[in-house]
Structure 1
Amino acid sequence: MISCIAIDDEPLALEVLKKYVQKIYFLELKGTFTDPDEALNFIRQEKPELIFLDIQMPDVSGIQLAGQIQQYNPAVIFTTAYSEYAVDGFNVDAVDYLVKPIEYERFLKAVYKAKEYLEFVQTRDIANASIFVKSDYQQVKVKLSDVLLIEALDDFIKIYLPEKTLITLMTLKAIQAKLPEKEFVRIHRSYIVPLSKLEVVSRAKVKVGDKEVPIGASYSDAFFALLNGKF
């Protein structure tokens, strides 16, 4: 799911956006705001991934607000009644620009552009990200993009990599806290899998490389909800 909010000084415009968001299965609306300051505080605390942002507002423009939230790296879709602001919108790296009155088909196109952008950013971040785990009395750097599977073995976990397997004294819960939650998913009390490495998925199991992993009954609903939202 992609968390999103909408900011607009017109309540009716927010109602339209709310109705549209509710039609899209991979969007989760976290709030709507007519007050930019209230929205800014929410963004700082909750860091929504996608923001629908009106450009013309009484106290602060959407362009100014977008500049204040760039550090949180959200995807921004501007909404406005004035098409002449489009250049300004794209100058602050907006994903898209919607002119009111917004038609649903045009809204949907913008949302899919945002989804592709966010997936690209996440893939790029994972490709460059790494963690350290203790193995054989030393700290070993593990690139997240290399991880094929993580398996629990009593008080230890086994991290499967393309060329080797690491065993470390750690719980699945502890390592899960270090991993991007939308890419590494616990599908069983004994397994965490990276979604990007899945080759075959059925109702009862998944295949990663040459290894088949069962899907636990208590993890199934959350796993398939995330899987459908990502792919």
Structure 2
Amino acid sequence: MKINTLVIDDNANWRKTIGKFVDIHPLLELVDTCDSAMDAYAKMMVHDIDLLICDIEMPELTGLGLVRSLQNGPLVIFVTSHANYALDCYEVSPVDFLLKPLDPERFLASIEKVKKRLTVASEPITPAPYFFIRESNNYVQIRYQDVLYMKAQEHFLQIFTRDKSYMPMLSISKMEEQLKGDVFLRVHRSFLVHRSAIAVITKNDLVLTTGETIPIGDQYRAQINRKHINMNVVSRRS
């Protein structure tokens, strides 16, 4: 991963110094250096910039003014000789605020923060798994993680969560077919249980984290041992 970086400082010596810091860092790609906020703005219209390393006190438009003007702009590290700007800068959520002269260790730590922010931003957000049931004329969304267990009731399926229960017209076998992954365990012809809700497994029953007891059907006992117990046993007592 290369982080496209733009350096902005109206002082030529500082542009050169900060540029060298960027050049020697293996994660950073120095796209350009700019002597003003307006010059930097023009460069951002042409190049994809991931990071601004920006002075604050500059003529015409300050570094803080530039960042305020950007919508969904790059990440920012402010670099300045004036510590009293720190509070003003944090209104735009910079990655860091560095004081001149630059300390190499602090600079490296700042780039680690940039790396972390970019990594988090690039990770896709996967919604928690869920299903819908029909209730009257509405469709109700229920997250897998909210369900404790499900119980077959003639032509209905009673779905128990920690807060309430639902009873759609649905067979337990049909629900088992629709559920994705290996989150729920069929433990009886009438019961599906969320695996994380199981606290204790006895010979004939499951005890849930809520204290409720669910019977184990004879034909499902081997499956419970295979899927839920054997692969997760860390110790045995005789």
TM-score, normalised on structure 1? 0.52
Relative to 1, partners in 2 of residues 1:101 and 1:71: Cα closer, same or farther, differing over 3 Å? same
Give, as a single letter, the amino acid of the residue that structure 2 aligns with 1:66: V
1:69 match: 70
| CA deviations over 1:21-46 (Å, ceiling 9, x no partner) | 12211110000000221210111221
> CA RMSD for the aligned pairs?
1.8
1:91 match: 91
Please point out which of 117, 124, 127 is paired with 2:125. Answer: 127
Shift of 1:128: 6.4
Give the secondary structure class of the aligned counterpart of 1:47. Answer: coil
Listed as ranges, the matches of 1:150-229 within 5 Å are none
Shift of 1:18: 1.1
User: Aligned partners of 1:75, 1:84: CA distance in 2, in Å?
Assistant: 21
2:5 match: 4
Shift of 1:99: 0.5
Give the secondary structure class of the aligned counterpart of 1:71. Answer: coil
User: Aligned partners of 1:63, 1:38: CA distance in 2, in Å?
Assistant: 15
2:40 match: 39
Shift of 1:53: 0.7
Give the secondary structure class of the aligned counterpart of 1:48. Answer: coil
Give, as a single letter, the amino acid of the residue that structure 2 aligns with 1:85: Y
Q: Please identify runs of 4+ aligned residues in structure 1 that moved more than 3 A.
A: none
* Higher normalized contact order (CA 8 Å, seq sep 6+, divided by chain length): 1
Identity of aligned residues (%): 31
User: Aligned partners of 1:70, 1:119: CA distance in 2, in Å?
Assistant: 20
User: Aligned partners of 1:37, 1:88: CA distance in 2, in Å?
Assistant: 20
Give the secondary structure class of the aligned counterpart of 1:14. Answer: helix
Listed as ranges, the matches of 1:49-64 within 5 Å are 49-64=50-65
1:29 match: 30
- Structure 1 or 2, whichever has the larger Rg, is 2
| CA deviations over 1:113-147 (Å, ceiling 9, x no partner) | 11111111111xx3269xxxxxxxxxxxxxxxxxx
Shift of 1:19: 1.0
Give the secondary structure class of the aligned counterpart of 1:40. Answer: helix
Give the secondary structure class of the aligned counterpart of 2:125. Answer: helix
TM-score, normalised on structure 2? 0.51
Count of aligned pairs: 128
User: Aligned partners of 2:85, 2:44: CA distance in 1, in Å?
Assistant: 23
Q: Is the 8 A contact 2:4 2:30 kept in 1?
A: yes
| CA deviations over 1:80-112 (Å, ceiling 9, x no partner) | 000010111111110100001111111111111
User: Aligned partners of 2:39, 2:10: CA distance in 1, in Å?
Assistant: 12
2:118 match: 118
Shift of 1:5: 0.6
Give, as a single letter, the amino acid of the residue that structure 1 aligns with 2:112: Y
1:82 match: 82
User: Aligned partners of 2:111, 2:102: CA distance in 1, in Å?
Assistant: 13
1:195 match: none
User: Aligned partners of 2:34, 2:42: CA distance in 1, in Å?
Assistant: 11
1:107 match: 107
